[in-house]
Structure 1
Amino acid sequence: MDQMIWLWQLYAVFLYERICGVKAVITGDVVYDDECELIIMNHRTRFDWLFVFSYQIRCGSLRHFKISLKEILKNVPGPGWAMQCAGYLFLHRNWEHDKSTISKCFMYFKKLNYKPQILLFPEGTDLTPRTKAKSDKFAQDNGVEPYKYVLHPRTRGFKYFVEQMRDVNLFDSIIDVTVGYPVNIPQNESDILKGDFPKEVHFYIKRHKALDIPLSEENVDIWCQKVWKEKEERLKKFYQDKKFDVKDNKIQLKDESEIQSLFKFANIFWSIFQISTFILLIYAPIIRWFALLSISIFVFISKFGGIQVLLDCELENAKHYM
């Protein structure tokens, strides 16, 4: 499943970079594609998770890339089912339920000796007038500075991610990604459907080694708040200059010719796959029945908790035999 998701992500990047003309500009620290990482990023639009593929393919491991998402998205026909199979983390905004989900996912990764690189949006939602008003009210109620370019982070989930990654020894670094859109910011799905893609997406990367992250929950909270304050200042300058400061740029990008070759491969693979599937659905009754059965199974499974339920059963069996 990782291979199929990887190929789909490659195809998505190919479509919006080569067909829609989106350019990714990446600056900052050196990162490593073989580490267990918690990637934290400001949430400027609903499509940050999509455009970050451009960073991940050039600096991290796209095969091991996972995303923490709102639970409702797992029920989206097709993409939601694929993300369930890929091991994405779906959160309910119910703390007791989400604690269990996060713990079980990391136990599962540990059981597989898997090195995930997980994207988490500590702000919890994208920046809009409505969410900014809520963030400003939070700032006023707590006597802290209101932000213009980011929302105040919700640190409880972030702290628990750090704690669980430490507990299962799957924690090498935190990658702090600041994303900015110098021209044309597509806020929601309607913008994308109208072809309103950004001309450029800029990523500024700061790598923090796991050993440099505080141990106590209180200090992790303070650390996250400090990172977000720095992010606010960085974005303030970015939207003045339309670029991030690159005087200390150390980033090492993968060979672009290899990436372009991967784009070609993904394009050929999915073109053949889609055409073949279309022909088989028309002329092969067994394929139509298989497609109907698969859809029915995913609808049923999603109604009762999704692929996560199967993961829970596997972990319970593993405990039983330990």
Structure 2
Amino acid sequence: MLGYLIFVMSSSLVILNTAFCSIPILGFGLIKLVLPFKPIQALCTSLANKFMWLWATINHGILHLVNPKLEWEIEGIESLKKDGWYLMISNHLSWTDIVVLCSVFKDRIPMPKFFLKQQLLYVPFVGMACWALNMPFMKRYSREYLIKHPEKRGQDLETTRRSCAKFKDTPTTVVNYVEGTRFTPEKQKRSKAGFEHLLQPKSGGIAYTLAAMGEQFDSIIDVTLAYPENRVEPFKAALMGNMTKIVVKVRTLPIDENVRGDYFNDKPYKRRFQQWLGEVWQEKDEALKEVHRR
């Protein structure tokens, strides 16, 4: 019973925090929409990012308030800088991941901007605030749909380019969950990818981002997340006060020949890129095996 009372309290605090911070962020977004002048837009973007930082800071406080025994194990963040441009790739386990990434990186790199499914645009407070923060909303088309509607081919890349163009004047961290969905044991079995703790990485999304902004990124931040003592339902565990340990392992990868190229027209490069991403994911799976063996 106590756990569910904590769940109600923590959920209410998160909702109130989200509503409180979303309203001014949306206001700055509307100002940018009606006053499309670069100095005004830059100022509004900066202020909106500050409120996102405030949202992340309050969420971090709520996480510790309801999980007093929470232990963090973080490594590899020492070389990051606040004024850089980064592409962040990460495994995806839970809605908790967003809170964790923002908590860990909010004072070390520019506030993370997530690629979001278009359906999230209609979530109260959250959707419009993410729009105001210039987060990219993606409408993915299946292979079967594109066969029937070839005129839609390439629209994902164009959407990514338009979204990333908004980041060129302000240091930004663009986050891509390479697996495309949250990990579950059922999805892992269906994927038949050969990983123990991961799903098959999808190269298209990260390739879109690199095609749009590759020359501007300083490096790629490869993040490995784990909740070793709360593996089944980490989001529920965090809200009920049962989260005990969060592991965040970070590697900084260079923007080199492995990620530079024409993914969409150069087939040898596309194969090389997919092999590189597969190797990154294999190393991530080994790191997760080590975390869960302890």
Shared fold, TM over 0.5? yes
The answer to whether the 8 Å contact 2:118/2:137 transfers is yes
SS of residue in 2 equivalent to 1:40 = strand
Aligned to 2:253: 208
Q: Spell out, residue by residue over 1:81-119, the C-alpha distance to the aligned partner (whole angstroms, 9 max, x if none).
A: 211111112222226442222110111222xx1121011
The answer to whether the 8 Å contact 1:44/1:150 transfers is no
Q: Match for 1:208: what amino acid?
A: L
Residue segments in structure 1 that go unaligned for 5+ positions in a row: 140-145, 242-322
Aligned to 1:50: 99
Aligned to 2:223: 177
SS of residue in 2 equivalent to 1:61 = coil
Structure 2 CA distance, aligned partners of 1:60 and 1:18? 25
Structure 2 CA distance, aligned partners of 1:189 and 1:200? 13
Q: CA deviation at 1:191?
A: 5.0
Q: Residue 163 of structure 2 is aligned with which of 92, 96, 105?
A: 105
The answer to whether the 8 Å contact 1:125/1:131 transfers is no
Structure 2 CA distance, aligned partners of 1:155 and 1:213? 12
Q: Residue 198 of structure 1 is aligned with which of 236, 243, 247?
A: 243
Question: 26-35 or 84-93: which moved more?
Answer: 26-35
Change in CA separation of 1:81 and 1:197 when aligned onto 2, cut-off 3 Å: farther
Change in CA separation of 1:59 and 1:197 when aligned onto 2, cut-off 3 Å: farther
The answer to whether the 8 Å contact 2:210/2:259 transfers is no
How many residue pairs match? The answer is 226
Structure 2 CA distance, aligned partners of 1:92 and 1:187? 28
Does residue 132 of structure 2 align to residue 85 of structure 1?
yes
Aligned to 2:177: 121
Aligned to 1:235: 288
Structure 1 CA distance, aligned partners of 2:154 and 2:185? 29
Structure 1 CA distance, aligned partners of 2:174 and 2:242? 25
Q: CA deviation at 1:188?
A: 6.9
The answer to whether the 8 Å contact 1:184/1:196 transfers is no
Q: Match for 1:129: what amino acid?
A: P
SS of residue in 2 equivalent to 1:150 = coil
The answer to whether the 8 Å contact 1:148/1:232 transfers is yes
Greater Rg over alpha carbons, structure: 1
The answer to whether the 8 Å contact 1:17/1:23 transfers is no
SS of residue in 1 equivalent to 2:80 = coil
Q: CA deviation at 1:213?
A: 4.0
Change in CA separation of 1:19 and 1:208 when aligned onto 2, cut-off 3 Å: same
Structure 1 CA distance, aligned partners of 2:71 and 2:109? 18
Structure 1 CA distance, aligned partners of 2:121 and 2:72? 28
Structure 1 CA distance, aligned partners of 2:204 and 2:88? 16
Q: Spell out, residue by residue over 1:259-318, the C-alpha distance to the aligned partner (whole angstroms, 9 max, x if none).
A: xxxxxxxxxxxxxxxxxxxxxxxxxxxxxxxxxxxxxxxxxxxxxxxxxxxxxxxxxxxx
Does residue 65 of structure 2 align to residue 12 of structure 1?
no
Q: Match for 2:251: what amino acid?
A: K
Q: Match for 1:16: what amino acid?
A: L
The answer to whether the 8 Å contact 2:53/2:106 transfers is no
Q: Match for 1:207: what amino acid?
A: T
Q: CA deviation at 1:48?
A: 1.0
Q: Spell out, residue by residue over 1:145-187, the C-alpha distance to the aligned partner (whole angstroms, 9 max, x if none).
A: x111011101111112112112xx4211000000111211363
The answer to whether the 8 Å contact 1:5/1:82 transfers is no
Q: CA deviation at 1:236?
A: 0.6
Q: Match for 1:122: what amino acid?
A: V
Change in CA separation of 1:68 and 1:124 when aligned onto 2, cut-off 3 Å: same
CA-atom RMSD, angstroms? Answer: 2.1
Residue segments in structure 2 that go unaligned for 5+ positions in a row: 1-47, 142-152, 264-269
The answer to whether the 8 Å contact 2:56/2:103 transfers is no
Question: 44-53 or 14-23: which moved more?
Answer: 14-23
The answer to whether the 8 Å contact 1:45/1:185 transfers is no
